[in-house]
Structure 1
Amino acid sequence: MRVSTAGMNGQMISQAMKVQSNYAEALDRQSSGLKSSSLSGLAGQAGAAVSLQADIERSEQLATQAENAVSKVETAYSTVDTIVDDAEYIRSAIAGAIDGAEDSSTLATLQSTAAGYLEDIVGLLNTKFADSYLFSGGAAQTAPIDLSDTDYSATSATADTGYYQGGGNPATVMLDSDSSISYGVTADASAFEETIRALQTIVNASSLDTSTLQTAYDLLSSAVSGLGSIQEDLSSQANALNSVIDNQTEFQIYANEALESLTSVDVAEASAVVSQQEVLLQASFATLSSLKSVSLLDYI
């Protein structure tokens, strides 16, 4: 009959359970590679870990926004490139007409061709990327061009952007509360307006005399130059946005390394702790087994 060992048994069982708990935690750290499965287990480092995680998430969001903006800018650049090709083709056709290389029947064809290119260019400027219109600035849910708008005159001899339905401000990527990067170009830019006005000059002319053709030619020449400047601006925007992406990627690498140093365990050290706790647990079980075999008769 065991009498005097009851208290000691309870104490040893309690110690064995604690060692078993420590062993389980050590195994968990070894398998997960983390110091703790919860922030509370990081003690004084929990605040720093939370802050770093929040910074990483903000950085990832900013990089994603910049990547989306780059895709829009690249699509806008390609669209403008197509408009340049169209403008140069029509300008070449007008030059031929001015030089007298075209007969009267071909002048009528030129008018029809200009109407087709006008429709194409308006369609290009009303291009959507995902769910946004590329050339509407901040009003990305509205198609930027409507030639039927009552505020627009198709026969204006001076600059007229009454067709424009988009926003007055460009699209932006917010870097922080105080700074941002604007990107894109709006369809009321002078180069687009001149392209449209040149084509309207041809389409709506009662007769294509030399003066009318020269006016359209000069407008397209100015437009082509302006379109080139727009492409340069778009290229610069893409470079700036890519710099944001690169900077955020570098920050994420640094921040993730810092977060890992706060939350991750050294593999060799974790394995050593597991071995140590395993030895202690085996010793605790061995001690308990010895106590259970002790009887009062052993001391009589």
Structure 2
Amino acid sequence: MTLRVATFSQSSMMIENALRLQSAMADEQIRESSGVISDDFGGYGSTAQHVINLQVSVTRSQSYIDAATLAGSKVQVMYSAVGSMTDIITQLRSQLSAASTGSSSELTSVINSAQQMLQEMGSLLNTQYDGQYVFAGGKSKAAPVDLTNFASGTGSASTADASYYAGGSEIASVRVATDQSVSYGVTADNSAFEEIMRVLKLVANSSSLSSSDITSALDLASKALDDTSAVQAKLSKAASQIETASARQSDYKSFAETLSGDLTSVDLAAATARLSIYQAQLTASYSALAKIFSMNLASYLR
């Protein structure tokens, strides 16, 4: 292609405009095919900071949702374990009531049952989830309950005894929002659990249950049942708070994602219209250039 001196300036300008149109058209085609305005924040101009803030908010909300999901699962595991403890103490009460008017064989039976129940309680209090002991407080990597010495000692209905506990004192909580945390932890030395362990130890280590022993055990078992039900109610409330907070974060995340999408997504209809305009302009530029390049002296001498 040879440029004539007389038309060089005009031709160069038209070529430059055509290349600029071609580049703009190529960029628009990329945006149309990718669905986003730009592949980096620099392409968003004055809205870049808004896009960044929204994306940070989405990430933060997801972290709260993940934390709430894990905590919610732990609460469900704890609630189920406490439900099993309630079954144990309820069964013990029934057996004690029957033994109070029964034969010596029934007394022996309730003692044997208490020994088994004590082991079951130890196992329940050492419940694990996601590699952590859920009733261990801050020392969640180690089993919080050890019955080696506790199970063999003489029990007392009136004296609290949580010597079986080796966990931490911290109560687990989860941050579900920037300004909200939900406390949901229960440790194995909780008074309700200690009362169950105490009455089981009392019954399990009795050589023969006297009527006064049975009366004391029944009173303590009734109190333990009421207190264990209160623990379940507390766990249920925590689960509800965690679920509500998680749902709120999910709603906010969806809202922020929608806003971010509005700022970063391409309007396909508008992009298609712009491509049509660019194509028409580019076709016209190529046509004009073709006419200029085809001009020569012979054309004027005819």
TM-score range, shorter chain: over 0.9
Does 2:39 correspond to 1:37? Answer: yes
- The equivalent of 1:119 in structure 2 is 119
Equivalents in 2 of 1:62, 1:215: separation in Å? 47
| Preserved CA contact (<8 Å) 2:137 2:169 | yes
Deviation string, structure 1 residues 81-118 (Cα, Å, up to 9, x no partner): 1111111111100111112x2x2233222221111111
Equivalents in 1 of 2:84, 2:223: separation in Å? 17
| Preserved CA contact (<8 Å) 2:107 2:208 | no
Single out whichever of 115-124 and 283-292 deviates more from structure 2: 283-292
SS at match of 1:214: helix
SS at match of 1:173: strand
- The equivalent of 1:69 in structure 2 is 71
Equivalents in 2 of 1:149, 1:155: separation in Å? 10
Equivalents in 2 of 1:213, 1:289: separation in Å? 110
Question: What letter corresponds to residue 232 of structure 2 in structure 1?
Answer: Q
- The equivalent of 2:50 in structure 1 is 48
User: Which residue of 59, 64, 67 maps to 1:57?
Assistant: 59
Equivalents in 1 of 2:257, 2:155: separation in Å? 59
Equivalents in 1 of 2:130, 2:8: separation in Å? 75
- Please state how far the C-alpha of 1:67 moved relative to its aligned partner: 1.3
Q: What value does the CA root-mean-square deviation take over the aligned residues? A: 2.0
| Preserved CA contact (<8 Å) 1:137 1:166 | yes
Question: What letter corresponds to residue 254 of structure 2 in structure 1?
Answer: I
- Please state how far the C-alpha of 1:178 moved relative to its aligned partner: 5.4
Question: What letter corresponds to residue 79 of structure 1 in structure 2?
Answer: A
Equivalents in 2 of 1:143, 1:84: separation in Å? 21
- Please state how far the C-alpha of 1:276 moved relative to its aligned partner: 1.0
Question: What letter corresponds to residue 274 of structure 1 in structure 2?
Answer: L
Structure 1: gaps of 5 or more residues: none
| Preserved CA contact (<8 Å) 1:49 1:262 | yes
Equivalents in 2 of 1:28, 1:230: separation in Å? 59
Q: Where do 1:1-300 residues align within 5 Å?
A: 2-4=3-5, 5-99=7-101, 101=102, 103-148=103-148, 154-157=153-156, 158-175=159-176, 179-299=180-300
- Please state how far the C-alpha of 1:6 moved relative to its aligned partner: 4.0
| Preserved CA contact (<8 Å) 1:154 1:197 | no
Deviation string, structure 1 residues 107-158 (Cα, Å, up to 9, x no partner): 22222111111111110111101111111123221212112368x9843521
- Percent identity, aligned pairs only, is 36
Judged with a 3 Å threshold, the aligned counterparts in structure 2 of structure 1 residues 296 and 153 are, in CA distance, closer, same or farther, namely farther
| Preserved CA contact (<8 Å) 2:67 2:176 | no
Equivalents in 2 of 1:289, 1:188: separation in Å? 91
Question: What letter corresponds to residue 18 of structure 1 in structure 2?
Answer: R
Equivalents in 1 of 2:236, 2:68: separation in Å? 14
SS at match of 2:219: helix
Judged with a 3 Å threshold, the aligned counterparts in structure 2 of structure 1 residues 89 and 293 are, in CA distance, closer, same or farther, namely same
Single out whichever of 58-67 and 249-258 deviates more from structure 2: 249-258
Judged with a 3 Å threshold, the aligned counterparts in structure 2 of structure 1 residues 240 and 176 are, in CA distance, closer, same or farther, namely closer
| Preserved CA contact (<8 Å) 2:155 2:199 | no
Single out whichever of 86-95 and 160-169 deviates more from structure 2: 160-169
- TM-score, normalisation: structure 1: 0.92
- Please state how far the C-alpha of 1:64 moved relative to its aligned partner: 1.1
